[in-house]
Amino acid sequence: MSRVIAIISTTALAAIVLVAACSPATDEANGSEDAGKTVTKAMVQLAGTKGNEKVSGTVTFTQAATGVLVEAAVTGLTPGKHGFHIHALGDVTCADGKCTAGHWNPTGSAHGGPDADVRHHGDLGNVAADLNGQATYKRVDTVIQLNGVHSIIGRGIIIHAGTDDLTSQPTGAAGARVAQGVIGIAAEK
């Protein structure tokens, strides 16, 4: 008798497991639909580092026919040019921005300007803030990629206190880090 009950309950358990496996929660279903999809747009929410809390902004990366369109809007800056780079890591847990490590440089190249033949993948040049501290940036980059082994997804973005001179090694001498963010896959909206 007890064996019969054991068999029945095992069968019932198997049925429950089967139902559960075939009816995943909505979030999980969405996740599996996204798996393997080509990324066409990425998004960054910038936050000011310690002592630079008034700096904020967004950066978007959109796949275009000729490269990746990079658009940024930053506020709260001091007037003038500020180094603007993709850094190697998306770790924004350090108040000074330094957990994002150095410039994203998967090819072991020297630092340069965004249009230079030799540059880090992360070298996007500068954003230029007006007298109100507002900066916008719009440029199609032919080096960075949203997919593949050198994808920028999950890496960091840094805005610097000073100007990237586009030549000093290995950072362009742009100084402290005033804002940081992580490059994530954008929602479709």
Q: Which residues are catalytic?
A: 85, 87, 103, 111, 120, 123, 160, 177
- Work out whether the CA dihedral 154, 69, 81, 111 comes out positive or negative: positive
Q: Quote the least distance from Cβ 148 to Zn ion, whole Å.
A: 20
Could you tell me the CA-to-CA distances from 143 to 17, 26, 66 in Å, in that order? Answer: 48, 37, 10
81 backbone φψ class: left, alpha, beta (φ>0; ψ -120 to 50): beta
Residue 94: name the closest of 46, 50, 146 by CA.
Answer: 50
Q: Which of residues 19-38 bind Cu ion (CB under 5 A)?
A: none
Binding mask 82-121 for Cu ion (x = CB under 5 A): ---x------------------------------------
Binding mask 1-40 for Zn ion (x = CB under 5 A): ----------------------------------------
- 161 part of the interface to Cu ion, by CB under 5 A: no
123 binds, among Cu ion, Zn ion, none (CB under 5 to 8 A by kind): Zn ion
DSSP 87-111: ES-----STTSGGG-SB--TT-PPP
- 103 part of the interface to Zn ion, by CB under 5 A: yes
